[in-house]
Chain A
Amino acid sequence: MSKNNDKKLKIGIYELTGCAGDGLLILDCEMELVDIFQAADIQSFLMAKSDNIDGELDIALVEGSVSTEREIEELKDIRKRAQVVVAFGLCATHGGIQARFSEEEWQKNLKEVYGDIEMSHTKAVHSKPIDEYIDVDLYLPGCPVSKDQFLNFLVRALGGSPPEVYPNPVCVTCKYNENDCLLLKGIPCLGPLTADGCGAICPNHNVPCYGCWGPAEGANFTSEFYLLQEKGFDMEAIKKRMANYSGTKLQEFFEKFKKESQ
């Protein structure tokens, strides 16, 4: 490692509740790992190293959703120490699968799984994306984030630039790949509603998009909802599919449909 570590960007990588897939993705950048560790001063990365320092940071990448009281404290501490906080991966940006339930449903699920036991070390809270608790500067969605997205973010950050975002839906890359549209075949694909960046990997294999990068900006949920309904899908099934990865961000939309269907 070079001696002038002081001038390098100090980066911390933190994991809250999730599968740790986003951190793993960084380690999976095998060809670039040496360059990454040479270009930046990785202060904390529990999955990759043991000599972690919890000090001042230029950038904190936070993976996972907030699911315990301890995580709320940890997150607030990260915010205090970091100039820029990046929500890293779908659980951090949208809450992930664990945030798909309403508060009420979550309470019920918690009781069903854990019963009445008292947790001694921390208390579980309804899973939420990190911006429910702190200000977030940048969002890198994805389940997991893509290598291209992460490396491009990093190299731009090193040069002082904000990341290139993926503002388009999955359909754009799907069409580049010349896939026959699954919606036209009557398959409930969420491509038009989902942020691009995955390379349309599911539709490339004839599997409909499940929305794991979270909702695309400006996505037309109403139209797709009626389209799927016209194709014979049950309202509850469509809602479930749409809610799986959209976390807390689509609750308003579903509330509207709930009212309409009553």
Chain B
Amino acid sequence: MKIVKLKKDNLFPFLEAIKGDAELWAPVKKDDAKHTFQPVDDFSQIDLDYTRTILPPRKILLPAKFNMYQASKSEFTSDFSHISKKIIFGIHPCDIHAFLTMDKFYSYEIEDPYWLEARKNLVLLGHSCWPDENCMCKSTNTHVVEEGYDLFFTDLEDTYVVWIGSSRGDDLIREKPELFEEDLTDTDIQKFIQRRENRDKAFTTEINFAAMPDLMELKYNDALWEKLGDACLACGSCTNVCPTCNCYNVEDRPVLGKDFSNIQRCWDACTLENYSGVAGGENFREKRADRLKLWYTHKLQSYISKYGKPACVGCGRCVATCPVDINVKTVAQSLDGNEVDSFWDRLSKEVTK
């Protein structure tokens, strides 16, 4: 691995040089508060002072709705038209880890051509971050990345230390080598180490993820799930904002006046009632508690036995999103035997009073 240095003033000239005909996606501030990944032409829109975006960057590879293929009575034609060369700049370690998890998921036994093709066309430029009270990535061990990016920018006040993570990343640097410095000084190294230590101390939320598979098993019939089910608004938001959620629905969209249908793939969420509905009007998980149990089994238990780490990458989006406080933080803390201050807990006392 090679490390170079980039003065902050040289960042935009560098992005300009490598952009070419690719679409560059970066965090942009929305409504004075939350951030979203957006395609940017004007780099001054980029705002790197963010903790997490509302939706995870998987939306850039697999949009909420896209045509998979067109089907007529006699043939079907694959449609990859939504895929183009893209660069994601400013992605944080947790989201890079999520991409690595999705890579495994989408190539396990059956390959998903839409994910893999989009991935081939993607350049990932990571960026360092600072945790807030909802970041759990230190607990999931996804707060640092060793692979999965082309370049990774660590913010050291007026300079970036840039880690080159792939040969493609190395090629990008060679587009404008004059913008970079090869030699890191002792001061740079000291600053880097100090930053890492300070950041490690800044995490305030610790979750015992190692205990979760056992606790999920032991508390599968715990009253907790009913409490959560009573409060859950079944809005699907936890699922839609999760960087490792991947379920989708496929809809036939016949076109008026034409003899073909667009076969559309759209995000789906196991926390929504209709998700488990089958022909004949039956539903395997009509109860909200059952659906939540499934989601948390995936996030806290089953991926660990299959991939060696939880599906949760600790990004804290579910914490920042659920209006009734059902999220990995409160659920894991509760499974671990803690009293949790949350709407769902207060509601359970309200309803049973």
Q: Which A positions have Cβ atoms within 8 angstroms of B?
A: 32, 35-36, 38-39, 151-152, 154-156, 159, 161, 164, 167-169, 171-172, 175-176, 178-181, 183-184, 191-193, 206, 217-220, 222-224, 226-227, 230
Bound CA–CA A167/B254 (angstroms): 19
The residues of B that contact A155 with a CB separation of less than 8 Å are 254-256
Considering the complex of A and B, which 4 residue pairs feature the smallest CB-CB distances, nearest first? A171-B235, A167-B274, A192-B233, A218-B273
Known: A39-B256, A180-B34. A167 touches B233 (CB 8 A): no
The residues of B that contact A36 with a CB separation of less than 8 Å are 256
Known: A181-B237, A192-B323, A219-B234. A230 touches B343 (CB 8 A): yes
Flag if A168 contacts B233 (CB, 8 Å): no
The residues of A that contact B252 with a CB separation of less than 8 Å are 161
Contact with A along B53-92 (1 / 0, CB 8 A): 1110000000011000000000000000000000000000
9 other A-B residue contacts (CB within 8 Å) besides A172-B235, A223-B230: A35-B257, A156-B254, A161-B254, A178-B30, A183-B323, A192-B323, A218-B286, A220-B233, A227-B233
- For B232, give the chain A residue with the smallest CB separation: A220
Flag if B240 contacts A168 (CB, 8 Å): no
B240 CB, nearest partner CB in chain A, Å: 4
- For B229, give the chain A residue with the smallest CB separation: A220
- For A152, give the chain B residue with the smallest CB separation: B253
In the assembled complex, B231 has its CB within 8 A of some CB on chain A: yes
Report the tally of A-B residue pairs with Cβ distances under 8 A: 109
- For A31, give the chain B residue with the smallest CB separation: B256
Flag if A226 contacts B233 (CB, 8 Å): no
The residues of A that contact B235 with a CB separation of less than 8 Å are 169, 171-172, 175, 191-192
Flag if A227 contacts B240 (CB, 8 Å): no
The residues of B that contact A230 with a CB separation of less than 8 Å are 343, 346
Bound CA–CA A145/B83 (angstroms): 32
A121 CB, nearest partner CB in chain B, Å: 40
In the assembled complex, B24 has its CB within 8 A of some CB on chain A: no
The residues of B that contact A184 with a CB separation of less than 8 Å are 321, 323
The residues of B that contact A193 with a CB separation of less than 8 Å are 233
Flag if A35 contacts B233 (CB, 8 Å): no
- For A169, give the chain B residue with the smallest CB separation: B235
A162 CB, nearest partner CB in chain B, Å: 12
Size class of the B contact interface (CB-based, 8 Å): 35 or more
The residues of B that contact A176 with a CB separation of less than 8 Å are 55, 64-65, 240, 267
Contact with A along B229-267 (1 / 0, CB 8 A): 011111111001100000000011111110000000001
Known: A176-B64, A181-B321, A223-B231. A168 touches B236 (CB 8 A): yes
Q: Which residue in A32, A38, A167, A227 is a CB contact (below 8 Å) of B323?
A: A227
The residues of A that contact B30 with a CB separation of less than 8 Å are 178, 180
Flag if A223 contacts B36 (CB, 8 Å): no
Q: Which B positions have Cβ atoms within 8 angstroms of A?
A: 30-31, 33-34, 36, 53-55, 64-65, 230-237, 240-241, 251-257, 267, 269, 272-274, 277, 286, 288, 321, 323-324, 343, 346-347, 350-351
* Chain B at the A interface: SS class: mixed
A118 CB, nearest partner CB in chain B, Å: 48
Q: Which residue in B54, B236, B253, B346 is a CB contact (below 8 Å) of A171?
A: B236
A260 CB, nearest partner CB in chain B, Å: 10
Bound CA–CA A224/B288 (angstroms): 14
Most chain B beta-carbon contacts within 10 A, residue among A159, A164, A175, A184:
A175
Flag if B241 contacts A175 (CB, 8 Å): yes
B103 CB, nearest partner CB in chain A, Å: 23
A181 CB, nearest partner CB in chain B, Å: 6
Question: Can you list 27 A-B pairs, Cβ within 8 angstroms, ordered by A?
Answer: A32-B257, A38-B257, A152-B254, A155-B255, A155-B256, A156-B254, A161-B252, A168-B274, A169-B234, A169-B235, A169-B236, A175-B235, A175-B321, A176-B55, A183-B323, A192-B233, A192-B234, A193-B233, A219-B233, A219-B234, A220-B233, A223-B230, A223-B347, A226-B350, A226-B351, A227-B233, A227-B323
The residues of B that contact A179 with a CB separation of less than 8 Å are 54
Q: Which residue in B33, B236, B269 is a CB contact (below 8 Å) of A180?
A: B33
- For A151, give the chain B residue with the smallest CB separation: B256
Most chain A beta-carbon contacts within 10 A, residue among B234, B274, B346:
B234
Bound CA–CA A205/B281 (angstroms): 36
A49 CB, nearest partner CB in chain B, Å: 20
Bound CA–CA A181/B92 (angstroms): 23
Bound CA–CA A226/B349 (angstroms): 11
